[in-house]
Amino acid sequence: MSLSGQVAIVTGASRGIGRAAAIALARAGAHVGVNYRSHGSEAEEVAAAIRAHGVEAVLLPADVADLASVENMVATVVEKFGRLDIAVSNAAYSDREPFWDANLDGFRRGVDVTMWGAFNLLRTATRQMLAQEPRDLGDSPDGGYPREAKGSIVIVSSPHAYVAVPKAMSYNMSKAAIDQMARTAAIELAEHRIRVNLVHPGWIDTPGERKFATEDTLRRGGQKLPWGRMGRSEEIARGIVFLCDPDSEYITGSSLQIDGGVTLPWWASRGSGVPD
C-alpha cells in the first residue's frame, strides 16, 4: 500500500489507535499532522517516529470539540503541505456511569469529543478537499479508465455503535451517531470523489482501557474473546491505511470490522455482549 506524497491528519494521535495510525500512514509514505489535546511528550514521540520514515510531521495541539480549533488545525496543515488528502477521526472521550447518576459535565464531554469532534473534522476536512484540485491516481490497473481523488476520510467508530454497553450511554450514542454521519457523508460526497469509511475496532489493548480496568482484568477478559486475546492498535492502523490506499478507491460508505470476532453470534450467545 502506497500513500507516497499524500498529506494526512489524525486526531487523538498521541496514544493508542491514533498513534499507530499516524505511524502506519507515515510508513506508507504520507506526511502526517499529529493532533493531540494532552500527552504532549507522547505526541512528540509520535512525530519523531513519523520522521524516521522519511516523511514530515507537524504537531497540532487542539481540542477537536471546538470547531474553530479544528479549522485552525486543518489550515496549519494546508499552509505547510499545500493540501489535505486523508483525515482520520479517532479522538474520543468516555466515562462509565449509569446515565441517571452520571456527572453531566463528563457526559456532555463524551458527546462533544466523540460525536461533535468527529463532525468538526469531517466538515472541515471535506471543505478543504472540495476546494483543492483532485489528485491524479493514474489509470486503473486494467487501463480501462483514469482515476482521481480529492480525499479519503476514515472515522474510527466502535461496536458501541450497535451494542448497548451498560454505563456507557454517552459513548454508545455518540458512536451510533457517527456511524450514520459517515454513511450520510459518503453518499453526499461520492460525486466529488471524496471517500468516507468507518472502522469498528473490537476490544483493543490501549492506554485508554486502563481507565476502566486493571491489567489482570484486561488479560483475563482478552482470553475470553473469540480470538483469545485483545486486539493491537497496529492491527487497526493497517485497516485504516488499507481504506486510504488509492487502490481501495471503490470502497466508500463501508464499515470495516477489526474485532477478532467479538461481535459474532458466538460471543453474543454467551450473554455478555462486548466486555465493559
pLDDT in tens, 236-262: 999 999 999 999 999 999 999 998 888
Q: What is the DSSP string of 177-236?
A: HHHHHHHHHHHHHGGGTEEEEEEEE-SB--GGGGGT--HHHHHHHHHTSTTSS-B-HHHH
- Tell me whether residue 221 is in a domain: yes
The reply to whether 275 falls in a domain is no
- pTM reported for the whole predicted model: 0.90
Residue 63 lies in a domain: yes
Amino acid letter, 204: I
Task: Please tell me the distance from the alpha carbon of residue 257 to that of residue 131, in angstroms, as a whole number.
Answer: 31
What is the C-alpha to C-alpha distance for residues 7 and 63, in angstroms, rounded to an integer?
21
pLDDT band for position 276 (cuts 50, 70, 90): very low
> Looking at the domain assignment, is residue 273 inside a domain?
no
Tally of domains within the chain: 1
- Whether 171 is catalytic is yes
Choice among 170, 171, 174, 233 that is catalytic: 171
Among the options 152, 158, 170, 233, which is catalytic?
Answer: 158
211 labelled catalytic: no
Sequence-distant (≥ 6) Cβ neighbours of residue 96 within 8 angstroms: 167, 168, 212, 276
For the stretch 80-138, pLDDT in tens is: 999 999 999 999 999 989 999 999 999 999 999 999 999 999 999 999 999 998 877 76
Give tens-digit pLDDT for 179-208: 999 999 999 999 999 999 999 998 777 676
Q: Which of 94, 152, 175, 233 is catalytic?
A: 175
Structural domain contains residue 171 = yes
- Among the residue ranges 17-21, 75-79, 155-159, 200-204, the one predicted with the least confidence is 200-204
Instruction: Round to whole Å and give the CA distance between 158 and 169.
Output: 13
Query: Which CATH number do you get for residue 43?
Result: 3.40.50.720
- Domain presence at residue 86: yes
Cβ count near 63 (within 10 Å)? 18
250 catalytically annotated: no
Q: What residue numbers bound the domain in which 164 lies?
A: 7-268
Query: What is the DSSP code (8-state) at residue 64?
Result: T
